[in-house]
Amino acid sequence: MTTARKFLLVSLAALLMITEPLTAGAETVMNKTITYFSVGGRTAAELDAALSSQGPQMRETGARHPGATRIKFGGTVSYVRRGRLCSVGSARVTLNTKLILPRWKNRNTAGRDLGLVWDTLSSDIKRHEERHAEIARNHARDMEKTFLSLPPEVDCERMQARVARASEDAIAAHDKDQAAFDRREAANFDLRMVRLLQYRLERMAKPAESGTR
């Protein structure tokens, strides 16, 4: 259980690109993909070693983790003149999220106890990464609203600079929320895993109990 705590330390890559072609209003474009990497092992120790050595590598630290979410923001902003002022005419934020999750190739031949632990852990890893993607989606929508609500400037160069500052602030807020989520997850990992294991054990026991008299 303690070695699995590091499974929740997830890094992400965020990039916001603002350009100027015309677009038709605000339209968040989101795309999510899921890929898997295989791990082997027939004991908990072997599985832990496989996840540590074969998981996705984080660009920032070079460390490997059993799951990751790659996040990339992009998009376009157009500018229009209204009288003597320049405003944001339209904004379109794009978001690509790629979840990288483990798949145990020996799962079908695993014993009951180790299989239960793996199913619980891998399900929790997937839930964790899905939540990272959800946080990014929420921030992508907020970015568009922020860009469209920016007050006009006296010229478009200053308007572009205002958009650039707003995008930097938005990325910083996004990264802060992602980091806070990781901290919360790490803090209650042991309790959550125990609860999830108990829940799965209770579900497994119910059919047997219902058949007794």
Per-residue pLDDT at 207:
60
Task: Kindly report the number of other CB atoms within 10 A of residue 155's CB atom.
Answer: 14
For helices 112-149 and 44-54, angle between their N-to-C axes, nearest 10 degrees? 30
What distance, in Å, lies between the first and last C-alpha atoms of the chain? Answer: 37
Per-residue pLDDT at 26:
52
Tell me phi and psi for residue 104, to 5 degrees. -90, 115
122 contact partners, CB below 8 Å, separation of at least 6: 101, 102, 104
pTM above 0.85, yes or no: no
Per-residue pLDDT at 86:
95
Q: Nearest to residue 3, comparing CAs of 46, 54, 61, 40?
A: 46
Q: State both tokens at 133.
A: 């993607």
Residues of the chain with pLDDT under 50: 1-25, 213
Residue pLDDT, tens place only, 77-113 = 999 998 899 999 999 999 999 999 999 998 888 888 8
